[in-house]
Structure 1
């Protein structure tokens, strides 16, 4: 691949940490990784977090699959992470941009999640309008939960929630403002959900 100007790489990254609320957390995480097809993304895990990188469609597909596979254990799980695109110097793993768009994780198991997200349209002076627009989109799609300091609450079935997140990630950037960061925090199988 030719060298790219700063911020023009279409590669998407997601750095995240999974926190199963169980003493057997290693087994839960390894099972989720084993049951998720990660062949369409570049992945690296260290002692704090994991990063996956590649085409947007596959990064979101793998992120959702990992959360869903972890949730299927029945354990209370927290996930926190940061999506990014257009970061200057982002090029490692570009070979994965040659993958087709066929999704490899297609489990449609329903799973309620409660989450929060924040958008950071980098270098966009009109960033608040972008954020308000995506919050309105969440309300229209029925996944909006609550307004709060430094984030917006999003909840519902995991597939609807991740669909919204991917759409927001697409809609919040433009050709002029390519660098975007989006953070998410997610709680799954929490006793406080009250059977939602």
Structure 2
């Protein structure tokens, strides 16, 4: 799924985790504490959480945080951006190996969700064709794909959704200096599609 180049390049994520419950703070803090983040630099403040590290490590940590919050059965939403190039801040302790510290635990959590995302290879001509080719591969990851205004929607298991997002990001970054992927993922929502 990921290639050697993806492991070596540093990515960054900034996201908000929203839990629709009175005990939202406890759920969010518990999800953050449950994740092994030693291979990324991570900081949480009153507005958002930011993480930097290899592409694989950033996706591993972001997915694990979301899954640990979502396993409560509460309506949980995460919105953010994953970026490559630009203004990442912080330092990671990535040892450049491909071991995903949270993968085994994340794979044991089964959670269905819906996700909307877009991906932008910045400063490129012909980017629409590049994006279209990547989006056409999404069903290969076991997710349902549909087009929605200004984005692509994918539905399925959270592990499959994040695998599809990472594969798309990884493919686009192979030939792009700067990439931005805004996303929103939601599970256990009381509303219908």
Partner Cα distance (1:144, 1:123) in 2? 30
What is the match of residue 43 of structure 1? 42
Residues 84 and 173 in structure 2, CA contact (< 8 A), matched pair in contact too: no
**Residue aligned with 1:98, SS:** coil
Shift of 1:39: 1.1
Larger radius of gyration: 1
Q: Distance in 2 between matches of 1:96 and 1:55?
A: 10
Would the aligned equivalents of 1:79 and 1:186 in 2 still touch at CA under 8 Å? yes
Q: Deviations over 1:150-180 (max 9, x none)?
A: 10101101111111111000111234x2110
Q: Does 1:92 find its partner at 2:90?
A: yes
Measured in 2, the distance between the counterparts of 1:116 and 1:101 equals 27
Note closer, same or farther for the CA distance 1:174–1:103 as it changes in structure 2 (3 Å cut).
closer
Aligned residues between the structures: 183
Whether 1:151 aligns to 2:151 is yes
TM, length-normalised to structure 2:
0.88
2:52–2:89: 8 Å Cα contact kept in structure 1? no
Deviation at 1:99, TM superposition (A): 4.4
- Quote the Cα distance in structure 2 between the aligned partners of 1:167 and 1:31: 28
C-alpha change, 1:91 and 1:69, in structure 2 (3 Å) is: closer
Point out where structure 2 has 5 or more consecutive residues left out of the alignment.
1-7
Q: Shift of the alpha carbon at 1:91? A: 5.8
Could you say if the C-alpha distance between residues 193 and 39 of structure 1 is closer, same or farther in structure 2, counting changes exceeding 3 Å?
A: farther
Q: Deviations over 1:53-91 (max 9, x none)?
A: 00111110001100100001111001001000122x546
Change (3 A) 1:185 1:143: same
Q: Which residue of structure 2 aligns with residue 5 of structure 1? A: none
- Tell me the residue number matched to 1:4: none
| TM-align CA RMSD | 1.8
TM-score, normalised with respect to structure 1:
0.87
